[in-house]
A and B are shown apart, each in its own frame.
Chain A
Amino acid sequence: MGEPVLRVNNLSKTYMQGKIPVHALSNVSFEVEKGEFLSIVGPSGSGKSTLLSLIGLLDKPTSGSVLIDGIEVTTVREGEVPKLRREKIGFVFQHFNLIPTLTALENVDIAMRFARVPKSERKKRAVELLTHMGLAERMNHKPSELSGGEQQRTAIARALSNHPAIILADEPTGEVDTKTRDMIVRLLKDLSEEGHTILVVTHDTAVAQQTGRIIKMRDGGIESDNKVIS
């Protein structure tokens, strides 16, 4: 087995609520291999979203380290963070978080702009990705003209646009109906089979059951880490 795509070592995060320290995450360690499709589940306040934000470089840990593709991302300089976010991480959010004034195509394009991808290449890749997501006919529509499922597929296309090492999905099915949920999970599963590494944070056990591995969290720590036998 090669170098894991993601390595989390003794990761801890303590917030201060006034003068009271809140331990959102305590000594969490695990590894993720390339092409893995895993879910992190747990009740509210278990630390799963904190874990995701630390892996995604959206927040700084109190202690511990995160290595993506062998690079320790938790110690890089502030100025290097945007580059790592662009190159190593693709985000999919619960609220889709598309830019309302841009079309689906432009929403995918914008992520590549920040990575300084040339215009012609951006357009080609955005069309390819949206077509792959089944949105060939919808790519010139704005988010307000797209269904929840279409918006989330656009967000997934955007997350894939810069060939990230890992896709972090925070409750990607939290705002869609069950039919759309199944379609999104199937899509993520297909992507992992194509070699993409996908980490999903979810409340939904039906979603977790579709992934290859489930990490259960409780009180800021890992309660269990099991492979799913399908």
Chain B
Amino acid sequence: MRFNTQKPQNLSRNRDKGITLMQRHVAIVEDEAAIRHNYEEALRRYGYHVSGFSDRTSAFAAFSRRLPELVIIDVGLGNEPEGGFELCRELRGLSKSLPIIFLTARDSDLDVISGLRLGADDYLTKDISLQHLIARVVALFRRVEALSGKASEAKTLERGDLSFSVERMEVSWRQQPVDLTVTEFWIIHSLIRHPGHVRTRQQLMDDANVLVDDQTITSHVKRIRRKFIALDADFDQLETIYGAGYRWKPQHSAPTDE
């Protein structure tokens, strides 16, 4: 079962329905006009209200007047190589809960870490496809809805000390919530569906709707593990199977030897 019912092939259907009830407002801050327009059009076609900005000041000016419901920011803005980070910091000053997605050509681990530390909800490289981008936007909105209690009662998965809410995109370990990005959430989801089974990096990539290399998956997994360990120093459920991938080690049972 795939939790993401909003598969990209449903895009056109969605648009046909004419989602007028509540048009989500998505803002895109991207200095490259062509990309910005393409993204705008794709999101609009999906039914969102989209506004695009090409630089930090105009974007922030507009956001100060009225906050959008989700922001996609390019890290490098015009002649400000880290203007996106700066904008993120300013936005967090305006709103703690505003979902922010970084979208950038830069993909070094350091950039990812600093972006996420600033409170971004996801960090995507520009080689992501539009469908994947939209899937993330949809997921983030779902999480916002879940948090605000609009969604139906969550369907949760229990894996030992881990409880996992697909609808709310919430994960908690020993009743403590774990703060995960959408990508990380999907990776965890992919792993715990079949505890004890090895998921290759390629499978994780497919499940998380990212098209990146092994290196990026590795750093994602490392980050997830670190977040769990921050809550519980004895956490060792997320196991690396060298040469193959990762698996979720079932608790209170002897480790299977494959």
Say whether A associates with B.
no
